[in-house]
Structure formats: C-alpha cells, structure tokens
C-alpha cells in the first residue's frame, strides 16, 4: 500500500518535471499503480486507517508525487463533498481541451501532499473544464467538469506539468479576487 513515505516532497526535481505520456496497451505495472493510487485516497479518507498509517487526507494524487514521471492521476471525491454523486476515476494522458473564462478558487485555499509548508491564499482555477483522457482500458474519454471536481482535477493535471498550487497564488495580494473569479464555498 502507498504511505506518506512514498510521496516525494517539494524540492524533489521530479515535482518540477513534465511527466511522460503513457503508451498503450497499458502494462500491468500501471494498472496496479492506478489501483494503488485510488486505494491510497480511500485509505487516507478513512479515519481509522489514516490514523493507523499516519496518512494525510487526500482527494487526488498524481504519479509524479510517487516519483513516477508518467501522465497518470487519480481522483476520489466522496459524495457529501462533490455535491451529488461521488467521483472516483483514473485519468491517463489527460488534456484540458477547453475551459470557461470564469474562474473559481477554494475558500480555504489549497494544500498538497508533496508540500509540507502552508501557502495561504486563493488558487485561481478554471470554473469549468473539458478534459480528454484515456481510461484504464485505453478508451478515449471526453468529459466536462465544473466546481469542486474541476478544481481537484486541475490541481492534479498541474502535477503532470511540474506545476504546484502555490505557483498560482498572487504574491502581491494572495487573497485578491479578480473580476472573473468567484470563491467556491
């Protein structure tokens, strides 16, 4: 199982590297990695397991955080958060094809399992995104996301491009709210 010891931290060069596309047919090592990533997120959200293995809670994780520089990410958002149904998926070679002009930011800012320091401030994200990606069977998927899931997915896709959340925080005024941005409560 994945634990915090497997997660590399800021300053590790892999976190600032553009990850490689994955080729199909997907070999077993990546299928196993994908299920390990989802399992980690579920474990991290289970109070007992998280306590037992000292896991920081997460709703998303990207392969580069495990020092695997490949374009693979996993998201596992429980129902109560995402608003309606839970969202649990693995994206391979994801690409944001289009996005809204309107932006949004989480009211409490963002954190990252690979960043131990706290960086306060709003992280502007596109409010709506259309993502093209491949699923574990190699099927091409094109899906629209908005609000909370869209924020999580953008945080993870950033990791595949060597970008960390605090790169987006306005240094002059971390809590500034540009005209085209609202706050996601």
Q: Which residues have a catalytic role annotated?
A: 156
Dist CA 99 CA 97 (whole Å): 7
Question: What are the angstrom distances between the C-alpha of 150 and each of 45, 76, 160, 173?
Answer: 20, 12, 16, 24
Dist CA 57 CA 48 (whole Å): 12
Report if residue 71 touches ligand NB4, rule: CB under 6 A: no
In 3D, which of 42, 50, 52 has the Cα closest to residue 74? 42
From candidates 14, 17, 45, 170, binder to ligand NB4 by CB under 6 A: 45
Report if residue 106 touches Ni ion, rule: CB under 5 A: no
From candidates 68, 74, 92, 112, binder to Ni ion by CB under 5 A: 112
Report if residue 78 touches ligand NB4, rule: CB under 6 A: yes
Residue 7 vs 26, nearer CB to Ni ion: 7
Residues that bind ligand NB4 (CB under 6 A): 45, 57-62, 65, 78, 81, 110-114, 151-152, 155-156, 159
């Amino acid at each position: 199982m994945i634990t915090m010891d497997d997660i590399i931290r800021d300053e590790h060069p892999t976190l600032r590297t553009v990850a490689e596309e994955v080729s199909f047919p997907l070999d077993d090592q990546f299928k196993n990695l994908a299920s390990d990533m989802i399992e980690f997120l579920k474990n991290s959200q289970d109070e007992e397991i998280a306590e037992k293995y000292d896991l920081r809670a997460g709703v998303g994780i990207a392969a580069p955080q495990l020092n695997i520089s490949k374009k693979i990410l996993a998201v596992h958002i429980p129902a109560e958060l995402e608003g309606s149904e839970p969202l649990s998926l693995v994206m391979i070679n994801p690409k944001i094809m289009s996005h809204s002009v309107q932006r949004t930011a989480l009211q409490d800012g963002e954190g990252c399992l690979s960043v131990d320091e706290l960086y306060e401030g709003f992280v502007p994200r596109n409010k709506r995104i259309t993502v093209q990606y491949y699923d574990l069977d190699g099927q091409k998927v094109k899906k629209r996301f908005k609000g909370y899931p869209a924020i999580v997915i953008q945080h993870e896709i950033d990791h595949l491009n060597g970008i960390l959340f605090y790169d987006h925080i306005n240094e002059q005024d971390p809590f500034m709210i540009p005209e085209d941005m609202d706050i996601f409560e």
